[in-house]
């Protein structure tokens, strides 16, 4: 096994596009991970699932990647990982993302990538001399590095599959939707990363305004010279006030008419990404991680009012939606009904939209991850360690690991590697679905998509 860590693939000034760095294999150290992108080090997101705390960050030197490459006489397929973290936290150096087991067991080359986060990665800086979508530009730049250099590690540049979870999956999906990524990917795996959160110019202008206010500055251009710790502090302070006007992820890829011409679903429907194989799936209870299960269930009429506000419909139309969910779930527990409705609208509906958009243009597959952790169910993020097989930093207890879980992990590793190898993950194409749970089986459709009609 050849392991090369902390390879610098690019450098970038603040709010500027990345500039690729020439790679010299003979001079690359490769013995330790590079620093992560600047981020809040003690925020609540770092506690939401195990092992997300990041300590080593550096704005100037964060654009690095890591390679795990088995020794082989034949070029091997490549899996390139992009970490999650709501586009504001995370690092490729987190132990759960170690690629050694996946690479050696499945005979694939594994790459993991750092990209810029938060305001540094996703602020629309065009109005004051910068660019938009810096973090997305980083991801595409890293994929260009893989195209140009992975052969020196025994990888096949014609069989590169990008994969990621949550924000990492969203980053992969936005890269697939960008004309700049044409020819870089044979496939993409999006784990709980399809959303309707892509920003537009109107909302990104609100983000700039809120960030400037939070930083106590008089003009956006002053953000260029703001010390990075103060910029990160300001971006954290700005997130709350932006929740109602922009959404839960104000630092997010946007349609900038340069790198990204349309939202992913629109771009894929128009044939962007044609010929690239796609796997996109979800967990069975995405929002359980974000909704307090111990809260007292609200009365039905209060839930109807909440659903009406959330879905943008009147209460007359919201009531039958709530009732249909109660029937589909076989419960009158309003907390459970709300969690399912909320999760479907945020994650299941966008996933289905992406699948429908891409299916006419390329091989398309979906799955539902139903493994249930002892306290968190099949929540968002519970699938993170399974494709890598690294149940470290408390992940074993979080997921309730046992022999069935180890077998499930092995099944996912084989499916992801098989997809990189052949473009086929080993189950029937969409609308059929693989169900990854205590038992792995195939279903005629994603088991949650049937309840989406009321939305």
What is the rounded CA–CA span in Å between residue 311 and residue 341?
10
Instruction: Tell me, yes or no, if 149 is annotated catalytic.
Output: no
Catalytic residue among 83, 252, 380, 446: 380
Q: Two tokens at 157?
A: 């540049």
List residues bridging with 278 in a β-sheet: 188, 364
DSSP characters over 119-154: HHHH---GGGT--S-HHHHHHHHHHHHHHHHGGGGT
> How many other C-beta atoms can be found within 10 angstroms of the C-beta atom of residue 205?
15
Give yes or no for a contact between 161 and 379, defined as CB atoms under 8 angstroms apart: no
In the 8-state DSSP scheme, what is residue 35? P
Q: How far apart are CA 76 and CA 70, in angstroms?
A: 9
| 3-state percent breakdown (helix, strand, coil) of the chain, nearest 5 | 40, 15, 45
CB-based burial label for 122 (10 Å; 0-12, 13-18, 19+): buried
Token pair for residue 310? 């959330």
| Cis peptide bond prior to 395, omega within 30° of 0 | no
Query: Would you give the DSSP letter of residue 297?
Result: P
Catalytic residue among 166, 363, 378, 409: 166
**Which one, of 54, 36, 92, 55, lies nearest residue 388 by Cα?**
92
Strand partners, 29: none
Question: Is residue 192 within 8 Å of residue 166, measured between CB atoms?
Answer: yes
Task: Please name which of 377, 442, 374, 371 lies closest in space to residue 408, comparing C-alpha atoms.
Answer: 371
- 228-242 and 201-215 helices cross at what angle (nearest 10)? 120
Q: Which residues pair with 443 in a beta bridge?
A: 433
Cα separation values, 350 from 193, 282, 455, Å: 9, 10, 12
> Distances from the Cα of 372 to the Cαs of 347, 366, 396, 398, 437, in angstroms?
18, 19, 12, 10, 8
**Cα–Cα distance measured from residue 342 to residue 451, given in angstroms and rounded to the nearest whole number:** 12
CA separation for the pair 205, 211 (Å, rounded): 10
Inter-residue contact 129 to 221 (CB < 8 Å): yes
Clarify whether 439 is annotated catalytic: no
380 belongs to the catalytic site:
yes
Q: How far apart are CA 338 and CA 275, in angstroms?
A: 38
Q: One of 286, 336, 346, 363 is an active-site residue; which one?
A: 286
Catalytic residues: 166, 286, 380
């Amino acid at each position: 096994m050849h392991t090369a860590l902390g390879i610098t693939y690019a450098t970038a000034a603040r709010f500027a596009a990345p500039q690729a760095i020439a790679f010299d294999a003979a001079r690359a150290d490769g013995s330790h991970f590079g620093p992560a992108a600047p981020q809040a080090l003690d925020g609540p997101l770092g506690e939401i699932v195990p092992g997300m705390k990041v300590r080593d960050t550096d704005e100037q030197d964060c654009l690095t990647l890591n390679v795990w490459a088995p020794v082989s006489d034949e070029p091997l397929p490549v899996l390139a990982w992009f970490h999650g973290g709501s586009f504001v936290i995370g690092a490729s150096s987190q132990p759960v993302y170690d690629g050694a087991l996946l690479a050696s067991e499945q005979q694939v080359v594994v790459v993991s990538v750092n990209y810029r986060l938060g305001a540094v990665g996703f602020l629309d800086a065009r109005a004051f001399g910068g660019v938009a979508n810096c973090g997305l530009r980083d991801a595409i730049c890293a994929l260009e590095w893989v195209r140009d250099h992975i052969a020196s590690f025994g990888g096949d540049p014609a069989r590169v599959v990008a994969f990621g979870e949550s924000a990492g999956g969203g980053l992969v999906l936005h890269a697939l939707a960008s004309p700049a990524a044409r020819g870089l990917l044979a496939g993409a795996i999006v784990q709980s990363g399809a959303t309707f959160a892509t920003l537009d110019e109107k909302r990104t202008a609100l983000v700039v305004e809120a960030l400037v206010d939070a930083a106590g500055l008089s003009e956006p251009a002053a953000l260029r010279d703001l010390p990075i710790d103060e910029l990160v502090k300001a971006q954290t302070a700005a997130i709350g006030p932006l929740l109602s006007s922009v959404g839960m992820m104000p630092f997010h890829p946007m349609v900038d008419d340069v790198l990204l011409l349309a939202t992913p679903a629109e771009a894929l429907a128009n044939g962007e990404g044609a010929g690239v194989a796609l796997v996109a799936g979800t967990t069975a209870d995405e929002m359980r991680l974000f909704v307090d299960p111990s809260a007292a269930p609200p009365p039905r009429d209060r839930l109807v009012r909440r659903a009406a506000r959330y879905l943008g419909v009147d209460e007359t139309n919201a009531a039958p939606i709530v009732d249909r969910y109660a029937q589909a779930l076989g419960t009158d527990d309003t907390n459970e009904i709300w969690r399912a409705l909320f999760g479907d609208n945020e994650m299941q509906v966008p996933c289905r939209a992406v699948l429908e958009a891409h299916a006419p243009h390329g091989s398309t597959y979906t799955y539902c991850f139903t493994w249930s952790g002892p306290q968190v169910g099949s929540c968002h993020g519970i699938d993170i360690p399974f494709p890598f097989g690294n149940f470290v930093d408390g992940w074993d207890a979080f997921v309730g690991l046992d022999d069935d879980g180890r077998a499930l992990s092995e099944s996912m590793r084989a499916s992801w590697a098989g997809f990189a190898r052949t473009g086929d993950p080993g189950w029937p194409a969409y609308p059929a679905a693989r169900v990854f749970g205590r038992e792995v089986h195939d279903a005629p459709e994603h088991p949650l998509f049937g309840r989406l009609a009321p939305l």
